[in-house]
Structure formats: C-alpha cells, structure tokens
Amino acid sequence: MEIEDVYGEEKLNHSLHYRTDTFAPVYMENIGAGTFKVKYLPNMAQLSNLNEMLIRDFNDDGALDVLAIGNLYVSEIETPRNDAGTGVLLLGDGKGYFTAKRGSKIGFYAAKDVKKIM
C-alpha cells in the first residue's frame, strides 16, 4: 500500500509539504545572538523516537550527559509503531559531542511505550 492509497492523490497534491536536509539524529546548540549550530548525535539515539530526557552528569566527569527514553505505540495507519528503544545514555564530552551506551552496559532498561523517566 502506498500513501496515495491511504489519502488519495488529489488530497496529497494540495497538502502541506515539509522538506529536510537530513534524517540524522541531531540537536541544535544555542551559541547566542539567535544563532544555532547543528550537532550530530550517535545513530543509537535514533533507534526509536525519544519522549523524555533527563540531563545530568551521570558518570561524574564534569560534562552533562543525557538519559533518554521513548517508543511510540499509538501511530497513524500508514506509520508502523516505533518500539526498538530500551533507553539510551548519551555520555557528553563537554564539547557538545556524545557517546551512546545502552542496555546491560548501563544497567537501564525501559522498553514499551515509555513517557516519563521520573
């Protein structure tokens, strides 16, 4: 089944269309004066959508880290559910770059349709 089969070609021709330059996992760093810089995250941050993030220095190295959870079970008919996430810890280096750790490596497992860390 194609998207035209679901919505109809005429409806799609008159719908709002967005365009992107990348589907890579990124965040926007606010560098001040209304200027932002795109910073790439590890691909492991994109296994599923992320619903909640807890930001703190988890490994006591002086740099902020991100513990993120997600998944999305309720979705539109043309979109399969996102359910590959079990939580991911993004260890920051203090310069805006992160290394991903998950599962048994961090002792954290948050599967299913997770919405809140605490």
Record the pTM. Answer: 0.78
Q: What is the pLDDT of residue 1?
A: 75
Q: Residues 53-91: pLDDT tens digits?
A: 999 999 999 999 999 988 878 877 777 777 888 889 999
The Cα-based distances of 21 to 18, 38, 96 in angstroms read 10, 12, 21
Q: Determine the 3-state secondary structure of 43 from DSSP.
A: helix
Domain layout of the chain by residue ranges: 26-102
